[in-house]
Structures are given as C-alpha cells and as structure tokens.
Amino acid sequence: MAAHGQHVVSEGLGTSEDTMRAVVHERYGGAEVLQLARVPRPEVSDRAVLVQVHAAGLDRGVWHVMRGLPYAARLAFGLRRPKHPVLGFDVAGTVIAVGRSVTRFAEGDEVYGFGEGTFAEYATVPEGNLARKPTNLSFERSAIVPVSAVTALKGLRSAGKLRAGQHVLITGASGGVGSYAVQLAKALGAEVTAVASTTKLELVRSLGADHVLDYTYEDFADGARHYDLILDIAGSPSIARLRRALTPNGTAVIAGGEDGGKLTGMSRQLSALAISPFARQRLTSFVGSVRTVDLEQLTAYIEAGTVTPSLDRTYPLEQTADAMRRLDAGEVRGKVAITI
Ligand SMILES: NC(=O)c1ccc[n+]([C@@H]2O[C@H](COP(=O)([O-])OP(=O)(O)OC[C@H]3O[C@@H](n4cnc5c(N)ncnc54)[C@H](OP(=O)(O)O)[C@@H]3O)[C@@H](O)[C@H]2O)c1
C-alpha cells in the first residue's frame, strides 16, 4: 500500500533505522480505522525538506481524508481505499535534511508548515509550504496554525476583501478556522460578531469578539442586524439566510460546512456561484492553499501578540484516534495537536 510511495511494513512497533512510527488508515471510516504502524521513513525530494516532526495539527481536512468524504474527493484521496495511508498535513518540527534545490532552509531550522503524512516521526514538506516557526510559540501551538489560520486570513482578506470598520459575522467561530478568524478580523479593524454554541461563547469572547450569538437559540438571519461580510465556516446556512443577514452590498464567503452534501460537499458553493452574478450582494467561496508567504504573514501577527493559537489539548501519537473522537464529538475548542 502506498504512503507517498511507502508501504505499511509492520504493525509491530520495534525499531529500525529506515522505518518510523506513523498513524495510518487502510480503509475509510471513523476513528476506529486509525492504527499505529511502522512505515518506511520518507526520502527527501529535490524541492522538499525532511522534518523531524515534534507536533502535528489535527483539523477537519484530516477528518475528510479519514472518512473519504465528500465522495467526489475520493478521486484525489483514492477511489476504493486511501492512496496515502499516513494521515496529517499540518506540522511543526526540526529540519534534518534538505533537497538539492532547497535554498531557504538548512538542517537544524525550526519550522512549521503544510506537508503530507505528518502524523509520523518524519515527514517531507515542500519548501514552498514551509516557514520558520514563530519564536514565541511552542511546537504544539505552531503545529495548529497552518491550514486553519491561512484559511481564516484568505477568507477575510482575499475572498472577503474586509476593510477596517466593517461589521463581520463569523459562523463556526469556536473551531479551528473560526478561532483564528475572530482574532484576524479584529486585527484587520472589523467589528466582530461570533456565532458559537452555548458552552463555547466564553472562548470566542476571550478571542476578542465584540458580540456573540448562541446559535442554539439565536438566529443571525432574524433581521435584527445586517453584516458587511459573513465568513461562513460552519452550520451550513442556506444561501437565502446568508443573504437575509447581509447589507444590500454585503459579501458572504462560504469557507466550509460539513452538510454541503456528501457527494461533492459543494452544493452551497455552487448555488452561490450561480446566484452571485444576478445579485447586488457578492456570494463567493474559495479553497485555500498554504504557502510560505501566508505563513510569514501569520508569524508576524503571532510574534506581535495579535494572534494566539487556541490549543484545546494535546494527544501523543498513539492516542490520535482519541483526538479524532473528540473532534467528531464537537468537543474541541480551537484545535488539538498530536505530539511525537
Ligand atoms: N475553504 C477552505 O480552503 C477550507 C480550509 C479549511 C477548512 N475548511 C472547512 O471549514 C470548515 C470548518 O473547519 P474547522 O477546521 O474550523 O472545523 P472545526 O474545528 O470542527 O470547527 C467547526 C465549528 O463549527 C461549529 N458548529 C458545528 N455545528 C454548527 C452549527 N450547526 N451551526 C454553527 N456552528 C456549528 C462548532 O462549534 P460549536 O461547538 O460552537 O457549535 C465547531 O467549533 C469545515 O467544513 C472544513 O472542511 C475549508
């Protein structure tokens, strides 16, 4: 079975120079499909670095790969079974080898970024998806930054074109993307209303939200307030509800939503695309990618103390399935990190 060209070699966990411990899945399903196994250590390619992983971030992207959902994504993940059994994308660790064409990193550098197969002792990461780790953060906190914080930044700034003084509504504000979105929207000068469930309202307040809405009994689209920008991360509100909550020239950016349909997961995004040309309001969506330049911008916010990653808790590699169960149960506040 291939894991970036690798095979699961053994489920026994003895040691060997050219193998490593990793969390793998050989079929799609819930947390029960995750196993600790030994796989070959990855080899560093020309434009990548080999990172000794100290911590890896768990996010919804990993959940999608584990579940093989939405089904259309199996074209990329593997039709019948996972093509890349080692899970994990976000990483923080130490560079231990660099590819021949790599110019910006050297052995010993402490880095964070977006690779593949990071729930493992070693992972390769393309040079272009990597940056030096913020000096004021632990590896655990650095590892929960890349995909979630970049998504929040792109959703607000690139897709949402947020300007200082605007009023922004953020759904899913207590989660991975949302916990960064609240802080970044404040840093960009917005007035922020954060939507979360009852037990997480305190968290989103502490992140700087000016107003909070408890979606278990309050409706952001009840007409009481209108927003210049909605960053829609969770809850899958209909396009009609998003439009009702917008100002006449407002923008809705659909960043996520697990109920977007199991086939493509994109039904609301496609509706937004179809309606937007005929509406005064702008309805859009995006898929983010993590690049060095994005990470460096986040490093600046983090080192200035403007953004602090919300670390819910950490789990050792062998308890990754428990971390996934916590995410599945909706208990995570911010994000969890896997430590290696
Ligand atoms: N476009 C992109 O490039 C991109 C990148 C990364 C992620 N995403 C997507 O963004 C979404 C969020 O990702 P994430 O990592 O932030 O997930 P997450 O950490 O699981 O956070 C999602 C949050 O949604 C809230 N929520 C659950 N049900 C809700 C409901 N009915 N109404 C309102 N809020 C609800 C939960 O908070 P409460 O417990 O407070 O309800 C939870 O904290 C996912 O769909 C993911 O696939 C997209």
Q: Which atom of ligand 1 is nearest to the CA of 64?
A: 47
Question: Could you tell me if residue 305 is inside a domain?
Answer: no
115 and 167 inside one domain: no
The answer to the question of residue 192 being in a domain is yes
Shared-domain flag, residues 171 and 257: yes
My answer on whether 140 and 154 are in the same domain is no
185 within a domain of the structure (yes/no): yes
Average pLDDT over residues 69-96: 94
| Same domain as 97, residue 35 | yes
H-helix or E-strand containing 64? Answer: helix 60-67
Residue 21 in contact with residue 36, Cβ under 8 Å?
Answer: yes
Residue range(s) defining the domain that contains residue 138 = 2-145+310-339
Q: For residue 178, give both structure tokens.
A: 């949302």
For the whole model, what pTM was predicted?
0.95
The answer to whether residue 288 scores a pLDDT higher than 90 is: no
Instruction: Please name the residues in contact with 29: beta carbons below 8 A apart, sequence gap of 6 or more.
Output: 66, 67
Using the predicted structure, report yes or no on whether residue 10 has a pLDDT greater than 60: no
Average pLDDT over residues 290-315: 98
DSSP string, 118-130: -SBSEEEEEGGGE
Whether residue 150 contacts residue 65, with contact meaning beta carbons closer than 8 Å, is answered with no
pLDDT (tens digit per residue) in 110-134: 999 999 999 999 999 999 999 999 9
- Kindly state whether residue 18 falls inside one of the protein's structural domains: yes
Domain co-membership, 153 together with 140: no
* Percentage, residues of the chain above pLDDT 90: 86
Same domain membership, residue 134 and residue 7: yes
pLDDT in the model for residue 107: 98
Q: What is the distance between the alpha carbons of residues 133 and 52, in angstroms, rounded to a whole number?
A: 14
**Domains in the chain, number:** 2
The rounded mean pLDDT for the chain is 93
pLDDT at 281 over 90: yes
Question: Is the backbone peptide bond immediately before 85 cis, with ω within 30 degrees of 0?
Answer: no
pLDDT of residue 262: 73
Q: Which of 184, 176, 212 is nearest to 197 (CA)?
A: 212
Give the lowest-confidence range in 22-26, 241-245, 255-259.
Answer: 255-259
Report the first-to-last Cα separation within the chain, whole angstroms.
Answer: 23
Residues with CB under 6 A from ligand 1: 59-61, 147-148, 151, 171-172, 174-178, 195-197, 200, 215, 233-235, 255-258, 286-288, 330, 332
Please check whether residues 132 and 13 belong to one and the same domain: yes
The enclosing domain of 213 has a CATH number of 3.40.50.720
Residues 57 and 172 in one domain: no
Q: Is residue 8's pLDDT more than 70?
A: no
Distance 241 CA to ligand 1 centre (A): 18
**Is 50 exceeded by the pLDDT of residue 5?**
no
Shortest-distance Cα residue to atom 22 of ligand 1: 175
Is the same domain home to 76 and 24? Answer: yes
- C-alpha span between 72 and 263 (Å, rounded): 6
In the structure, what pLDDT confidence band is assigned to residue 38 with cuts at 50, 70 and 90? very high
Q: What is the per-residue pLDDT for 267? A: 84
With a pLDDT cut of 70, the percent of the chain lying above it is 94
- Determine what percent of the chain falls in helix, strand and coil, rounding each to the nearest 5: 30, 30, 40
Is residue 293 domain-resident?
no
Within a domain: 303: no
In this structure, the answer to whether residues 140 and 62 fall within a common structural domain is yes
pLDDT of residue 3: 40
Ligand 1 atom nearest 287 alpha carbon: 3
CATH number of the domain at 31, please.
3.90.180.10
Indicate whether 318 belongs to any domain: yes
Ranges of beta strands (E only) in 26-128 are 34-40, 48-58, 90-98, 110-114, 122-126
Is the same domain home to 115 and 23?
Answer: yes
**335 with 204, same domain?**
no
Model confidence at 1: pLDDT above 60: no
Closest C-alpha to ligand 1, atom 41: 197
**Ligand 1 centroid, distance to 255 Cα (angstroms):** 9
Q: Confirm whether 294 is domain-assigned.
A: no
